Structure formats: structure tokens, C-alpha cells
Amino acid sequence: MSTERIGPDRIQEMMTGFWISKVLFTGVELGIFDELANGPASAEVLAYRLRVHPEALERLLNALVAMELLQHNAERYRNTAEAQSYLVRSQPSYIGGQVEHLSQLHWRLWQYLPDAVRENGPRVQQVFGPVFNILQAVSSDPQRLRTFIQGMHNLSVPAAREILETINLSGYKCIMDVGGGSGALAIAAVQKHPQMRGIVFDLPAVCPIAEEYILTHGVQDRVTTHAGDFFDPTTLPGEADVIALEWVLRDWQLERGRVILRNCFNALRTGGVIIICEKLLDHDKTSPLLATLMDLHVMVSTGGQEHTQDEYCELMESVGLREVQVSVLKGNRDVVIGHKR
């Protein structure tokens, strides 16, 4: 029998984990990283600029130093390289829009996780009222939508590279990124494969923002946008021989996801492929941790669910896709690919 003493330290880390999130949320909300992008400053100077209490701010700054998002020397604070790249609003790699989205919306939904488990349903109406819609709330505010898309883009770029290193698209001519946001995957695909062109399919409010990213990457002659609704099959163009669904199906219950996938299958050219990019649950759904947490996240927010590779294979085969293959990747997405024969 082991005599090793079991302590509560790991459980304590878990129960205080939300402290870390809230310190990050507050740093972004107050504009600390944006202000320090102008140069190092003391707590007193920052407090004056941000109009907050200097002693309280110093305590927050010290926590951010401990979290390795700030550095402190000679009584002045400065951004680390990581914070400068990802938490300063003026930087093209900014992901603070995602931080703000989680802080302003999802933070409140997660407080009602026990109710979501009791009732197996999202908490949006419980928190924000019966007519509130998260998607409409984000898309109706142009600045919020822009920073949200920017954050998703910068999270999607490394994932897109890993996906394209895993699958061979050299024999295909047109990729349609359904629910593609900024078009990160379509942009990366045409950059890697000169023979390809791309379509970013998303809601009307998103397409103009995607066009800006397309222009920035200099692929406007090969990537276009198409506004529509993936639940309305008449809005899906029939030009693509590759259709990608990244972090789309998880937002819906299985049968709603089947509708989306069937509509994409019908729009896909014969001989083409559909690529589902989601972080897969293992067979007994107890790992990886990221996927299990995402599963809870969509439960409280959209009412969706994450799936195993077997469930996605069944889903693909049920709409007519064949030769389904699965690749588990290192990043925040895995790949399930099926062929239309």
C-alpha cells in the first residue's frame, strides 16, 4: 500500500482557476495592455491615465506580473512579448476580442452550469432574457463583431496551417469555408495550393470583414465571399469540391448538425470532400480535457455538443459521404474528412 500523502493542492488550483481568468478579463477591460504598449509606466501613472485607484491597480498589476503577462522593474511595469502581441488592441495578432467575448457573455453563462446540467439546455435566456440571441448580439455591434472575428482569425491561423499539413488538397480546385469568419482556412489553402480558389461563406454582416482579411493577404483575385445561411440550402453555392466546417457543427445538437452537413453535401461537387474540423472527444468522452470543457461550453451557450470520431463518422456516412478518415492533431482542432463519390 502506498504511503504517499495526498494533499489538496491540485484541487485548490482547480477551485481558484477562475481567479486567473478574471484577472486577464479585467486587464483587457481596463486597457492596461493598450496603455503599456505606449511604454513602461508606474502604477501611479497608469492609475491616473486609466482613472482607477492606484493602490488597487498595483495589486492587479502584480498579479499580472505573476501570470507572466507583465514585467516589473525600477517601479515600472511593461508588457511581456506575449501580452504585446496578443493583448494590445492595435496589434494585428490581437485576440482580446475573444477575451472580451468570454468576459461579457460566456462568463455569466458558466455561472449557471448547474442549471444547464439539471435541464440539459443553454442558459442564455436565464441570464440575458427570453429574446436575447448571442449571435445577433455580436453581429449587431460592428466593433464587437470586428474584434471577435479578429480574435478568431488569430486563433485559426495556426490551426489552418496544421490542418493543411495533414490533408492533401493538391488535386482540388475550390475550397468553401462554411461559417468561415475571416476566411483563415480558405486564405491559407490558396496560398499553399496555387491551383485553388476559395469561397468564404458566412452571414451578411461577416462577409465585409472577411473581405478585408482577403485583401490584406493579397488573395482577392482568388478568394471571394458569399453571404448566406447554412440552414437554407438555396444560399449555398455549388462550385466547391472541398467544403470545410471549422467549429461549426459543435454549436448544434446532432440532428441540426446533420441538416447543415446534408446541405453542404448537396452543394458539394461529385468527387469532392467535406472536412470537419473540431476537437474530438475520445471514445468514452472523458478526454482530452479541452474537448470535455468545450462540450460544457457549448451546452451552456448554444445548446450544442462535442462528438467522438465514431459519431462524426456515422454523421458523415448518414448524409452520403464515404471513405471517412480521421486525423487527431496537436492543436485545438482535429480533422474528419469524407468523400462524395
How far apart, in Å, do the first and last CA atoms of the chain sit?
A: 59
Of 43, 61, 86, the one marking the end of a domain is 86
CATH number of the domain within which 45 lies: 1.10.10.10
Burial class from Cβ neighbours inside 10 Å (0-12, 13-18, 19+) for residue 73 reads: exposed
Indicate whether 128 belongs to any domain: no
Indicate whether 202 belongs to any domain: yes
Q: What is the mean pLDDT of residues 5-28?
A: 94
Q: How far apart are CA 171 and CA 165, in angstroms?
A: 15
Q: Write out the residue range of the structural domain in which residue 205 sits.
A: 155-339
Indicate whether 105 belongs to any domain: no
Q: How far apart are CA 313 and CA 102, in angstroms?
A: 31
Q: How far apart are CA 89 and CA 100, in angstroms?
A: 11
- Same domain for 171 and 275, yes or no, is yes
**Residue 142: per-residue pLDDT:** 86
Q: How far apart are CA 101 and CA 277, in angstroms?
A: 22
The answer to whether the CB of 109 falls within 8 A of the CB of 301 is yes
Reported pTM: 0.91
Indicate whether 96 belongs to any domain: no
Per-position b or e across 121-155, b if 16+ CB within 10 A of its CB? ebbbebbeeeeeebeebbbeeeebbebbbbbbbbb
Cα dihedral 40→46→48→50 (10° resolution): 130
The answer to whether the CB of 68 falls within 8 A of the CB of 80 is yes
Q: How far apart are CA 151 and CA 172, in angstroms?
A: 29
Cα dihedral 207→260→117→332 (10° resolution): -60
Number of Cβ atoms within 10 Å of the Cβ of 160: 25
- Same domain for 35 and 173, yes or no, is no
The answer to whether the CB of 201 falls within 8 A of the CB of 263 is no
Query: For residue 302, what are the CA distances in angstroms to 107, 203, 208, 251, 261?
Result: 14, 17, 25, 6, 18
DSSP conformation class of 249: G
Q: How far apart are CA 164 and CA 263, in angstroms?
A: 24
- Same domain for 188 and 281, yes or no, is yes
- Phi and psi torsions of 80, nearest 5°: -75, 170
**Residue 5: per-residue pLDDT:** 76
Grid coordinates in use for 283? 471514445
CATH number of the domain within which 237 lies: 3.40.50.150
Strands 197-202, 223-227: parallel, antiparallel or unpaired by DSSP?
Answer: parallel
- Same domain for 185 and 60, yes or no, is no
Task: Please write the tens of the pLDDT for every residue from 24-83.
Answer: 999 999 999 999 999 999 999 999 999 999 999 999 999 999 999 999 999 999 999 999
Task: Please write the tens of the pLDDT for every residue from 276-309.
Answer: 999 999 999 999 999 999 999 999 999 999 999 9
Of 57, 86, 115, the one marking the end of a domain is 86
Task: Please write the tens of the pLDDT for every residue from 207-224.
Answer: 999 999 999 999 999 999
- CA proximity to 64, closest of 110, 97, 25: 25
- Same domain for 328 and 223, yes or no, is yes
- Same domain for 246 and 326, yes or no, is yes
**Residue 3: per-residue pLDDT:** 59
Q: How far apart are CA 152 and CA 277, in angstroms?
A: 14
Task: Please write the tens of the pLDDT for every residue from 122-162.
Answer: 999 999 998 888 777 777 788 889 988 999 999 999 999 99
Q: What is the mean pLDDT of residues 172-184?
A: 97
Q: How many domains does the chain divide into?
A: 2
Indicate whether 92 belongs to any domain: no
| Residue 1 pLDDT exceeds 70 | no
Indicate whether 283 belongs to any domain: yes
- Same domain for 57 and 165, yes or no, is no
Indicate whether 235 belongs to any domain: yes
- How much is the mean pLDDT over the chain? 95
- Same domain for 310 and 217, yes or no, is yes
Of 86, 109, 135, the one marking the end of a domain is 86
Indicate whether 28 belongs to any domain: yes
